[in-house]
Each structure stands twice: as structure tokens, then as C-alpha cells.
A and B are shown apart, each in its own frame.
Chain A
Amino acid sequence: MDKSSTHESIIGFMKLRRTAQTDRVSRDFEALFDLHWAAVYRLLCRLVGDPAEAEDLALEAFLRLHQRYPAPQEGFNTGGWLHRVATNLGLQSIRSFKRREHYELAAGRGAIERAASPQPAEIFDEEERRRLARQALTGMNPRQAQLLIMRHSGMPYKEIAAALHLSTASIGPLLLRAEREFEKRYQALTQETP
């Protein structure tokens, strides 16, 4: 084998190896996507109240994960990272006034359509309470808001602590403080609302 064909063989081998690595990374990422998609989407759907926006935001969270992939270090907490990014994206999205109007309309319409025996006044009141709660969340310190969202979505303390880089023992006190802050903001909004 002369020098040039050896060189070509090495380059060919490197290209093959790169393709194989790419395929494996892609399959691994798809498995992660399968594992976390439903949880991330549902969390966002409940948070923002609009399925289409939730899907956009969930995909954005996975795109951001993909930009960091393969995992930056061993033991990387993918689920926690995704939840943290997703709640941030959801809160940012709710802050946009125009988008909020759209969500409320979509959420209200959806609720009326889903109701077994439509009682628009009650549904409207319920949607108004949700609107105020979302508004109160977006006015809070983002870390406190994330803590409330994660806990009231049913995440155990250990998972919240891992996602937010906190100790498990600190979750109770921080949660209590966040709930008090939330209540204060909610009450203030209620008084502003005629």
C-alpha cells in the first residue's frame, strides 16, 4: 500500500467513525426525548394554558438541551435541567402581555368546550383566578416561582432540590417563603382588579 492510499484509508476510517458516533449520539438523544417529552410538555401546558405555545416552548427546551449534548458532565441531571429551563421559558412567555391575552382566550374557550354542563360564569371566574395566579408567579423572584411551579406540579423535594441546585432540607423553608410571597402578590392583584 503506497503512502497516498494509506492516507485515504485513514481519512475514510475517520469519516466512518464520525458517522457512527453521530448516529449513536442521535439515538441516545432520541431516547432522552422519548423519556422526558410528555412530562415537559404537560408541565408547560398547565403553566401557560395554551397547548400550541406549550409545544413550541417544550421543543425550545429540548433544542437548548441538544445544544449542550452530549451531556457536559457525568451524572448530568437531564430531567431537572429540562424542568428548570421549561419553567423559565414558560414564565418568560407568560410575561408577554399580548401572548397572555391569547392564552386566556384560548384557555377560556377550551375550558368551556370541555365542560360537561357549561356554566360560563363559573368557568370565567376560574379562568380569572388562574390569570391572577399566573400574573402573580411572573412578578416573583424567578427562583421562587420555579420552586412553586415544580412543587405544585407534584415534584418531590429531592427532584426539586436537584433541579434547582438546592439542598433537600432547604426546600421546606424556601417553599413556605415563596408561598407567602405568592399570596401577598395575589392579594395585591385581587385588590387592583375591579
Chain B
Amino acid sequence: MKKHLTDGQLRAALDGELDDVETRHLESCADCQTRQRVLKAQVQRAAARLAFLAPASADPTPSAGSAWARFKREILTQKEISMYKRLFASPALRFGALAVLILALVVAFPTTRALASQLLDLFRIQQVTVLPVDFTGIQQLDGPISKQITQLISSSVTMTQKPGEAVEVADAAQAGKLTGYTVRLPQGLTPSSLLVMNASAFTFTIDRARAQGILDEAGHSDLVLPESVDGAEIYVNIPAVATADYGTCPKPRTDGSPDENGAGSPGRRYADCIIFTQLPSPVVNAPADVDVAQLAQIGLEFTGMSPDEAAAFTSTVDWTSTLVIPIPKNAATYQQVQVDGVTGTLIQRPSDDAPQFALLWVKNGIVYTISGLGSNSQQALDMANSLP
């Protein structure tokens, strides 16, 4: 072989990664050997600087068993459908959280009831109900089915009023001017940022064939969506949202792009972050022939609930005024608490590295949430009780 080796081949030779023919050439070619010596000095310099990457036999490693146990706990969290996860764990999406919540509600837990009129304001939040669900049974929420659900939602939604960029405001009075309602802030605390997001609206058009296809593929052919829902348009209006951050919180993103410090545990990055949001109840309008109870039952059975349990739950809820929040049975707890002069709901997710909490209540038509990372949920109660 007459042709000299390239620098790249000489580099590979230093790692013993050259094929036999080229290796023989190198062994017999003084010119290539000289060039390789020069290269070797460069490579050794880089190798010395990167030596900390080299495996060491003494590297202590947490056992696969303990890591697996933690992993399974994390999976439980991952499975808690986006609504729960976004409400707590992705504060970056908090401006979209209520929209997502309502959207998820429409898809999984429809909130409308057939009334006499063709189109009415069917849903305004007056109360909050928590529904513990065993999400571990929904293996199909991982993988392709999850993608199909996401695609179905994104292709079924038309934004009719985009909220635009959040506007930073100086105080509650200025926030009130922009939102059109009285914005309340906890006394004695200074927010690290106070933002107002304009009102938004979207229409959700039900594609029965695709939704049924997903149910079938998920192994739920026993659940049949009624023909009447096909093409039904559901209108969702979300009023302006005021959000106050306390502590170090991630920057809000309305485009769904990931947090810029995306890697690692949010629990450690934003350990002191508490987010307080308020907005008048979103309004959902739907055609009168949408059979809410039936859809709700299908949604509940999809999560793994038995038909009897699902029927029992749907019959206890006033779907025209209740925000139903599914929480993971295995990974979160909830309790009713007296707060701001009304009954609120405190949801907590215990976790070794990133405990989370959210306090929700409705007063005078305004929905309030205080959510944060950490286990000190008393802070949320104190904040709520200090509102003017």
C-alpha cells in the first residue's frame, strides 16, 4: 500500500482501532510514523485534560436495586397524566396549566351536562373535587398511545384568542387594571415577579373515530364513545391570569418549550419557589347533545376504574360547577382545609427529592392556586390566610 494514512487514520491507530492493512502500512512507513508522533503529543494533551472521564475501579455506584426502587416511584409520577404533572412539577408551563387542566377535563372528564338549550355556559368552577386514581394500571399511557393522544389533542384544538406574552407588572393595583378584576396578594411578602397573562380562548372539536381508535388500540374496545359526540365543538374561554412568584422560580414559557435549565431535579433547582395564581373561572360551552355522564364514565374506566366505581363517582358530581382533579392514588394525598374563609383542597405529593404541594380554592368566582416544591405546605396556608 503506497498511499499514506490520513491524520484521522493515524488518530485511530493510537487507539488500536485501525484495520490490519492500514496497521501494516503504518508499521513500515517512516513518514506516517513521524506524523503520528506529532499527533500523539496533541492527543495525549487532550487525554490528560479529560482523564477525569476515564472509568476508575473504585467508582462508588448506588445499587441497581435501590435505583430501580426510586425509578419505579418516578414512573408513578410520570404516569400521572399531564394535568397533574403540569400543575405541580412544571411551573414553567403554569400559564398553560389551567388551559391544559380544562382541556384534559374536556377530554377525560367532560364537564358538561345536556341541558335544554342548544348552547349554554355549562361550566363555571364553583368547587373543586379530588379524585384519587390508580394510574399505574394505564401502561398504555406510555409509548405510542401517549403520542396519539397528544396528536389528537393538538390537531383538535383551534386557538381563537391567543394570550400573548406575559406582562410584568409592579403591583396588585396595576395587575387589577390589566386583568379587569381585583388581584389579591398575600400581605407582608414581596413577590419575586408579578405577571399578567391576557385572556385566551380555544375550540376543541371532537374527532370520534380517532378517539375511539385510541381506546381500541389501548385494549379498551369495551368502551364505546357515543356517535353523538362526533364533530361536537367545545368552546373554552380562559380569563386573564395573574401570577405571583415567590423565591427562585423558572421563567414562564407559553410555547411549551423546555425549561432552559432542563436537566436535573426541579426540586433542587427551585426549592424555594412558590407560585400563586388567580383567575376568574374559565367557562366551557358545549352542545346540549353531548352526554356528559356517559363520557365521564368512559374517561374514568379508561383510567382503570371499575364500571361500578365510575358510575358511583359520576353520580356524585355536579359536572356543571365542579373542577375534578384526578390525583395519583399511590403518589399523592389530599385533604380539605379551611382557607381564606372557604373550604379549599390541599394536595401533596411526598417525595425524597422533590416533594410538591398545591392548594386550591374558589372564592367569589375566582379560582386561586398556590403551588410549590418542598414539603412545607403550611406556607401556602399562611399565604392564603394573609390575603386582604
Question: Which positions in A face B, CB cutoff 8 Å?
Answer: 11, 14-15, 17-18, 21-22, 25-26, 30, 33-34, 37-38, 41-43, 45-47, 49, 51, 53, 55-60, 62-63, 66-70, 89-90, 92-93, 96, 98-99, 129-130, 132-133, 136, 148-149, 151-154, 156-157, 168, 170-176, 179-180, 182-183, 186
Contact = CB atoms under 8 A, between A and B. Distances in A.
Given A46-B53, A152-B50, A152-B53, A67 B68 contact: no
Interface string B156-197: 000000000000000000000000000000000000000000
Contact of A63 (B46, B59, B71): B71
Contacts of A99: 261, 264, 269
B3 interface: no
Interface in B47-79: 47, 49-55, 59-62, 64, 67-68, 70-71, 74-75, 78
13 contacts: A17-B219, A51-B62, A55-B62, A58-B67, A99-B261, A152-B47, A153-B53, A153-B54, A172-B9, A173-B8, A175-B11, A176-B7, A179-B46
Given A92-B263, A183-B49, 15 more contacts: A22-B139, A30-B68, A45-B61, A46-B54, A46-B55, A53-B264, A59-B67, A59-B71, A66-B78, A133-B52, A148-B46, A149-B50, A152-B53, A172-B11, A180-B42
B80 to A, nearest CB: 13
B6 interface: yes
Contact of B67 (A37, A53, A68, A156): A37
Contacts of A152: 47, 50-51, 53-54
B2 interface: no
Given A41-B62, A153-B53, A59 B74 contact: yes
Contacts of B45: 183
A183 B46 contact: yes
Contacts of A133: 49-50, 52
Interface residues of B, number: 51
Given A41-B62, A157-B17, A179-B43, A47 B53 contact: yes
Interface string B1-27: 000001111111101011000000000
A66 B49 contact: no
Nearest to A8: B222
A42 B55 CA distance: 8
A66 B264 contact: no
B134 to A, nearest CB: 13
Contact of B261 (A15, A30, A59, A96): A96
Contacts of A179: 11, 42-43, 46
Nearest to A129: B49
Interface string B136-153: 000100110010000000
Contacts of B264: 53, 56-57, 60, 93, 96, 99
B50 A69 contact: no
A7 B264 CA distance: 48
A62 B12 contact: no
B22 to A, nearest CB: 10
